[in-house]
Amino acid sequence: MDLYIIVFYLFALITLASAAIVVISKNIVYSAFALLFTFFGVAGLYVLLMADFIAVTQLLIYVGGILVLLLFGVMLTTKVIRVDMRTATVRTFPAVVIVAALAGTLIGIFWSTDWPQSPASDGFERTIPQIGEMLLTSYLLPFEIASVVLLVALIGAAMIARRERKAL
Protein backbone atom coordinates (compact mmCIF):
# COMPACT_ATOMS: atom_id res chain seq x y z
CA MET A 1 0.00 0.00 0.00
CA ASP A 2 1.60 3.19 -1.06
CA LEU A 3 1.31 6.56 0.54
CA TYR A 4 -1.21 7.82 -1.99
CA ILE A 5 -3.76 5.20 -1.03
CA ILE A 6 -3.22 5.78 2.68
CA VAL A 7 -3.74 9.50 2.30
CA PHE A 8 -6.82 8.91 0.20
CA TYR A 9 -8.44 6.71 2.81
CA LEU A 10 -7.47 9.17 5.51
CA PHE A 11 -9.25 12.03 3.76
CA ALA A 12 -12.21 9.84 2.93
CA LEU A 13 -12.51 8.82 6.56
CA ILE A 14 -12.35 12.44 7.72
CA THR A 15 -15.04 13.41 5.24
CA LEU A 16 -17.42 10.59 6.09
CA ALA A 17 -16.99 10.68 9.84
CA SER A 18 -17.43 14.42 10.12
CA ALA A 19 -20.41 14.29 7.77
CA ALA A 20 -21.98 11.70 10.04
CA ILE A 21 -21.49 14.02 12.99
CA VAL A 22 -23.13 16.86 11.07
CA VAL A 23 -26.22 14.75 10.68
CA ILE A 24 -26.30 13.00 14.02
CA SER A 25 -25.25 15.73 16.44
CA LYS A 26 -28.08 17.35 18.33
CA ASN A 27 -26.22 20.58 18.87
CA ILE A 28 -26.25 22.68 15.76
CA VAL A 29 -22.98 24.40 16.63
CA TYR A 30 -21.22 21.04 16.75
CA SER A 31 -22.77 20.23 13.41
CA ALA A 32 -21.43 23.43 11.94
CA PHE A 33 -17.93 22.73 13.18
CA ALA A 34 -18.05 19.18 11.94
CA LEU A 35 -18.95 20.56 8.56
CA LEU A 36 -15.58 22.30 8.53
CA PHE A 37 -13.85 18.93 8.52
CA THR A 38 -16.11 17.62 5.85
CA PHE A 39 -15.24 20.47 3.55
CA PHE A 40 -11.60 20.08 4.41
CA GLY A 41 -11.64 16.38 3.66
CA VAL A 42 -13.24 16.97 0.31
CA ALA A 43 -10.62 19.60 -0.49
CA GLY A 44 -7.98 17.05 0.32
CA LEU A 45 -9.54 14.57 -2.10
CA TYR A 46 -9.45 17.22 -4.81
CA VAL A 47 -5.78 17.72 -4.19
CA LEU A 48 -5.20 14.03 -4.59
CA LEU A 49 -7.00 14.21 -7.91
CA MET A 50 -4.58 16.94 -8.99
CA ALA A 51 -7.42 19.42 -9.19
CA ASP A 52 -5.58 22.31 -7.71
CA PHE A 53 -8.01 25.05 -8.63
CA ILE A 54 -11.04 23.29 -7.25
CA ALA A 55 -9.24 22.35 -4.08
CA VAL A 56 -8.26 25.92 -3.42
CA THR A 57 -11.72 27.18 -4.30
CA GLN A 58 -13.21 24.64 -1.95
CA LEU A 59 -11.10 25.94 0.88
CA LEU A 60 -11.57 29.61 0.09
CA ILE A 61 -15.27 29.62 -0.54
CA TYR A 62 -16.66 26.83 1.58
CA VAL A 63 -14.33 26.81 4.52
CA GLY A 64 -13.41 30.46 4.41
CA GLY A 65 -16.69 31.97 3.35
CA ILE A 66 -19.80 29.89 3.71
CA LEU A 67 -18.86 28.11 6.88
CA VAL A 68 -17.89 31.23 8.72
CA LEU A 69 -21.12 32.83 7.65
CA LEU A 70 -22.99 29.80 8.86
CA LEU A 71 -21.33 29.88 12.26
CA PHE A 72 -22.04 33.56 12.66
CA GLY A 73 -25.63 32.94 11.69
CA VAL A 74 -26.04 30.18 14.21
CA MET A 75 -24.38 32.02 17.06
CA LEU A 76 -26.08 35.34 16.43
CA THR A 77 -29.51 33.73 16.18
CA THR A 78 -29.05 32.01 19.54
CA LYS A 79 -27.90 35.19 21.18
CA VAL A 80 -30.42 37.56 19.66
CA ILE A 81 -33.71 35.72 19.73
CA ARG A 82 -32.90 32.97 22.21
CA VAL A 83 -34.01 30.06 20.11
CA ASP A 84 -33.07 26.64 21.27
CA MET A 85 -30.68 25.62 18.54
CA ARG A 86 -30.99 21.93 19.15
CA THR A 87 -32.30 19.80 16.35
CA ALA A 88 -34.56 16.90 17.03
CA THR A 89 -34.23 13.83 14.91
CA VAL A 90 -37.62 12.36 14.23
CA ARG A 91 -38.47 9.16 12.48
CA THR A 92 -34.89 8.01 12.38
CA PHE A 93 -35.83 4.46 11.60
CA PRO A 94 -37.60 4.89 8.25
CA ALA A 95 -34.96 7.37 7.19
CA VAL A 96 -32.14 5.00 8.05
CA VAL A 97 -33.80 2.11 6.29
CA ILE A 98 -34.45 4.00 3.10
CA VAL A 99 -31.11 5.77 2.99
CA ALA A 100 -29.29 2.52 3.73
CA ALA A 101 -31.15 0.86 0.91
CA LEU A 102 -30.25 3.67 -1.46
CA ALA A 103 -26.64 3.64 -0.38
CA GLY A 104 -26.53 -0.14 -0.71
CA THR A 105 -27.91 0.01 -4.21
CA LEU A 106 -25.46 2.68 -5.30
CA ILE A 107 -22.48 0.91 -3.72
CA GLY A 108 -23.56 -2.32 -5.31
CA ILE A 109 -23.72 -0.69 -8.69
CA PHE A 110 -20.38 1.07 -8.30
CA TRP A 111 -18.78 -2.12 -7.16
CA SER A 112 -20.00 -4.15 -10.07
CA THR A 113 -19.20 -1.61 -12.77
CA ASP A 114 -16.10 -1.60 -14.91
CA TRP A 115 -14.77 1.87 -14.35
CA PRO A 116 -13.17 3.49 -17.32
CA GLN A 117 -9.44 3.90 -16.70
CA SER A 118 -7.89 7.12 -17.85
CA PRO A 119 -4.18 6.95 -18.57
CA ALA A 120 -2.08 7.97 -15.59
CA SER A 121 -0.85 11.49 -16.02
CA ASP A 122 2.83 12.21 -15.81
CA GLY A 123 3.14 14.43 -12.85
CA PHE A 124 1.35 17.58 -11.96
CA GLU A 125 -0.10 19.89 -14.49
CA ARG A 126 -1.67 23.19 -13.48
CA THR A 127 -5.35 23.43 -14.29
CA ILE A 128 -5.91 27.10 -13.52
CA PRO A 129 -4.89 28.53 -16.92
CA GLN A 130 -6.99 25.96 -18.74
CA ILE A 131 -10.04 26.63 -16.61
CA GLY A 132 -9.64 30.35 -17.04
CA GLU A 133 -9.34 30.04 -20.77
CA MET A 134 -12.31 27.68 -21.06
CA LEU A 135 -14.50 29.94 -19.00
CA LEU A 136 -13.91 32.82 -21.34
CA THR A 137 -14.16 30.87 -24.58
CA SER A 138 -16.18 27.67 -24.86
CA TYR A 139 -17.96 28.11 -21.59
CA LEU A 140 -18.51 31.84 -21.87
CA LEU A 141 -22.28 31.53 -21.96
CA PRO A 142 -22.59 29.33 -18.85
CA PHE A 143 -20.17 31.69 -17.12
CA GLU A 144 -22.39 34.66 -17.88
CA ILE A 145 -25.53 32.80 -16.94
CA ALA A 146 -23.96 31.89 -13.62
CA SER A 147 -23.63 35.60 -12.89
CA VAL A 148 -27.33 36.10 -13.62
CA VAL A 149 -28.16 33.18 -11.33
CA LEU A 150 -26.14 34.79 -8.55
CA LEU A 151 -27.80 38.14 -9.15
CA VAL A 152 -31.22 36.54 -8.88
CA ALA A 153 -30.23 34.76 -5.70
CA LEU A 154 -29.16 38.12 -4.30
CA ILE A 155 -32.44 39.78 -5.22
CA GLY A 156 -34.31 36.89 -3.70
CA ALA A 157 -32.38 37.03 -0.45
CA ALA A 158 -32.89 40.79 -0.22
CA MET A 159 -36.53 40.40 -1.02
CA ILE A 160 -37.09 37.88 1.75
CA ALA A 161 -34.88 39.42 4.40
CA ARG A 162 -35.50 43.13 4.07
CA ARG A 163 -37.60 45.12 6.47
CA GLU A 164 -41.20 45.58 5.44
CA ARG A 165 -41.84 48.91 3.82
CA LYS A 166 -44.81 50.98 4.67
CA ALA A 167 -47.93 49.73 3.01
CA LEU A 168 -48.33 51.35 -0.35
Q: Which of 16, 60, 99, 107 binds other proteins (CB under 8 A)?
A: 99
- Reduce the DSSP state of residue 87 to 3 states and report it: coil
User: Site mask, other proteins, residues 101-130, x = CB under 8 A?
Assistant: xx--xx--xx-xx-xx--------------
By CB under 8 A, which span of 16-24, 26-34, 73-81, 156-164 interacts with other proteins? Answer: 156-164
Q: Which of 5, 83, 107, 136 binds other proteins (CB under 8 A)?
A: 136
Q: Which of 2, 84, 122, 164 binds other proteins (CB under 8 A)?
A: 164
- Pick between residue 10 and residue 20 the one whose CB is nearest to other proteins: 20
Provide the phi-psi class of 29: left if phi over 0, else alpha when psi is between -120 and 50, else beta.
Answer: alpha
CA-to-CA distance for 16 and 98, rounded, in angstroms?
Answer: 19
- Reduce the DSSP state of residue 84 to 3 states and report it: coil
- Measured CA to CA in angstroms, residue 68 lies from 29, 83, 156 at distances of 12, 20, 21
- Pick between residue 120 and residue 168 the one whose CB is nearest to other proteins: 168
Cβ within 8 Å of residue 62, ≥6 positions away: 39, 43
| Site for other proteins contains 27 (CB under 8 A) | no
Q: Which of 21, 35, 27 is nearest to 78 (CA)?
A: 27
Give the count of beta carbons closer than 10 Å to the beta carbon of residue 96: 10
- Residues lying near other proteins in the complex (CB under 8 A): 90-91, 93-95, 97-99, 101-102, 105-106, 109-110, 112-113, 115-116, 136-142, 145-146, 148-149, 152-153, 155-156, 159-160, 164-165, 167-168
